[in-house]
Structure 1
Amino acid sequence: MADLRRRIRNRRLQVLGLYGTPSLLVFSFLSWFATKNIFWLNKDMPGSAHGAFLAVSLFLVGAFVLQLVIEFSEDLWDWEDEGTSVSKLKLDLELAEERRILEARRLTPSAVERQASYKERTPAEVGRLRKESRHYRRVNLWMQWLLFMSSAGIAAVTAWYDPPQPGKGALILLGFTITVITAANGYFKPRERAFNLQQTADNIEQNVTALDLGIAPYTQEDAVNLELFATTVESMRVEQRRREQQLDQPHQGQQEVI
């Protein structure tokens, strides 16, 4: 199953490169045209700028041709799962999961053993929560820095240019950046997501430490402590998912849920 998940990830990247490179090539040409008309509308575009866009376009063309040759040629390169759709790999993964479930049912351990196994898997869950929390904190940090720099850039460009090209184009670009970042920050709420994930990870880790040390509330027999631990951690995970769902709702929907 781990191998199938790896193959699915790799195949997704292959398909993304195969179909995404032409899109990037078109976007490169459009950016080339837009840059010329925004910053150098009534004057010649510098040769260095033309050269940069040309180099990017040639690189994308070469990458696309190379991917096509690798995808449809077996002699040049042995690309794993070439010509195989992602849906077929997902079907193979589902079949493998069904076989695993049937085998697990045949060898199902006792409830105490399952609870002990659940406790051993908890540190991995804490690590996952902390990793996602760090990701959202970095996203929020980059958004804030882009917002600060764009806001400062608007004031600087306004003071420097008065306001013909390329100053007007720079102002449009900076204003667009501020609008997009503000909207994305308000919609995805990376700061709130990072806080919730970090809080859940800290609470789960606190329960793991209490269980290992045998302190309250885990001061009874091992079987009772493991049952209480599994119940508590699952409640925390359900609460975390509920908070994520609330963040995905619009503001009015959040008030109704609360």
Structure 2
Amino acid sequence: MGSSLGVLNDGTVTDEIIGYRREIADLTQRIKNRRLQVLGLYGTPVALVLLALSWAGLKIFVWLHGDTPSAVNGICFAGIVVLGLASAVQFSVEFQSEHWEDSGKSIRALKLELSLTEERHVLEIRRRTPPPQDRQASYKEKLPSEIFRLRQDSRRYRRMHLVMQWLLFISSAAISAVTAWYDPPQPAKGALIGLGFTVTVITGAAGYFKPRERAFNLQQTADSIQQHVTALELGIAPYNASEEKLNLELFATTVERLRAEQRMREQQLDQPQQGQQQVI
């Protein structure tokens, strides 16, 4: 009976903590939505006024002694009508709470509500903190998503590197081909300028962002973490101690060290070349 009550209490605590996290996620999304609402609420009338002033300015400073082109008049008139309707709709919806969840509420109030919810969440977790062994076991269960994220980022940077390299190869080859085809290269001057600009931009971007190095580091970290996860599950070295507590402690320490090394490598890649040499 006592054990069943303990399980029930643990389930209730877990549901409460999950409820706090859901409330935090909901408030975060509500703040984003409210920012968009406020931006549209105040930005649309400002855009309407600016468009009207621009239309009047064009008439005064450009076509004062002549007729304004019908295309300009049509575009400006259509823009004013659309912005006017959008402003009217947004103002009407703002004062009808059944359409917008947080209509009439400031972003500051939502941020305060989010801060209080996060504080309650922290206090609840601190009051019911599980022992280190349980936290280390749950830490192991969170790692598959981290490994997936690292590999996904690695694939993204690898694709970026491949696209850059192919564009660089094609543009470099096209410069030589266009130069050899036209003699003198006057008809293809625009193409040569564009291709040379592309080569310069890709070379500079590849040297600055270093997608190949980032992809390699991310994949290496993901593979290392996966190797330690497999070793822990199979109970092989270095996680072959008789006590599970020691294995979990060593596992958490090792994975955190790998993640710290990954962050350090990312910081080194973000630094200029001179700064990297000094760090090394």
Q: Same fold (TM over 0.5)?
A: yes
Aligned to 1:163: 185
Aligned to 2:249: 227
Give how far 1:96 is off.
3.1
* Contact 1:147-1:178 at 8 Å conserved across structures: yes
- Asked if 1:2 is matched to 2:25, the reply is yes
Alpha-carbon separation, structure 2, partners of 1:89 and 1:253: 42
1:247 alignment partner, one of 257, 263, 269: 269
- Asked if 1:199 is matched to 2:217, the reply is no
1:217 alignment partner, one of 231, 238, 257: 238
Task: Give matches, 1:15-54, under 5 Å.
Answer: none
* Letter matched to residue 217 of structure 1: P
Alpha-carbon separation, structure 1, partners of 2:207 and 2:170: 18
1:128 alignment partner, one of 123, 129, 149: 149
Q: Which has the higher contact order (CA 8 A, sep 6+)?
A: 1
With over 3 angstroms needed to count, the CA separation of the structure-2 counterparts of 1:8 and 1:147, relative to structure 1, is: farther
Q: Give the fraction of aligned pairs with identical amino acids, expressed as a percent.
A: 65
* Letter matched to residue 240 of structure 1: Q
* Contact 1:218-1:225 at 8 Å conserved across structures: yes
* Letter matched to residue 229 of structure 2: V
Gap runs ≥5 in structure 2: 1-23, 48-74
TM-score of the aligned structures, taking structure 2 as reference length: 0.65
With over 3 angstroms needed to count, the CA separation of the structure-2 counterparts of 1:151 and 1:121, relative to structure 1, is: same
With over 3 angstroms needed to count, the CA separation of the structure-2 counterparts of 1:152 and 1:89, relative to structure 1, is: farther
Gap runs ≥5 in structure 1: 23-56
Give how far 1:185 is off.
0.5
Alpha-carbon separation, structure 1, partners of 2:163 and 2:110: 36
* Farther off after superposition, 155-164 or 66-75: 66-75
Give how far 1:88 is off.
6.8
Task: Give matches, 1:135-174, under 5 Å.
Answer: 135-158=156-179, 159-160=181-182, 162-165=184-187, 167-174=188-195
How big is the alpha-carbon RMSD for the aligned residues of Structure 1 and Structure 2?
3.6
* Farther off after superposition, 125-134 or 3-12: 3-12
Deviations 1:17-38 (A, max 9, x none): 998xx9xxxxxxxxxxxxxxxx
* Letter matched to residue 222 of structure 1: E
Alpha-carbon separation, structure 2, partners of 1:184 and 1:17: 35
With over 3 angstroms needed to count, the CA separation of the structure-2 counterparts of 1:246 and 1:8, relative to structure 1, is: farther
Task: Give matches, 1:172-191, under 5 Å.
Answer: 172-191=193-212
Task: Give matches, 1:88-103, under 5 Å.
Answer: 92-103=113-124
Task: Give matches, 1:62-141, under 5 Å.
Answer: 65=83, 72=91, 74=93, 92-141=113-162
Q: State the SS of the aligned residue for 1:74.
A: helix
Deviations 1:23-70 (A, max 9, x none): xxxxxxxxxxxxxxxxxxxxxxxxxxxxxxxxxx99xx79x9597676
With over 3 angstroms needed to count, the CA separation of the structure-2 counterparts of 1:224 and 1:231, relative to structure 1, is: same
Q: Kindly name which structure, 1 or 2, has the bigger radius of gyration based on alpha carbons.
A: 2
Give how far 1:170 is off.
1.8
The number of aligned residues is: 219
Give how far 1:144 is off.
1.0
Alpha-carbon separation, structure 2, partners of 1:15 and 1:116: 44
Alpha-carbon separation, structure 2, partners of 1:242 and 1:199: 14
TM-score of the aligned structures, taking structure 1 as reference length: 0.70
Q: State the SS of the aligned residue for 1:216.
A: coil
Give how far 1:172 is off.
1.4
Deviations 1:136-176 (A, max 9, x none): 111111111211222222223332474335x2222211111
With over 3 angstroms needed to count, the CA separation of the structure-2 counterparts of 1:226 and 1:191, relative to structure 1, is: same
With over 3 angstroms needed to count, the CA separation of the structure-2 counterparts of 1:156 and 1:118, relative to structure 1, is: same
* Contact 2:221-2:258 at 8 Å conserved across structures: yes
* Contact 2:151-2:222 at 8 Å conserved across structures: yes
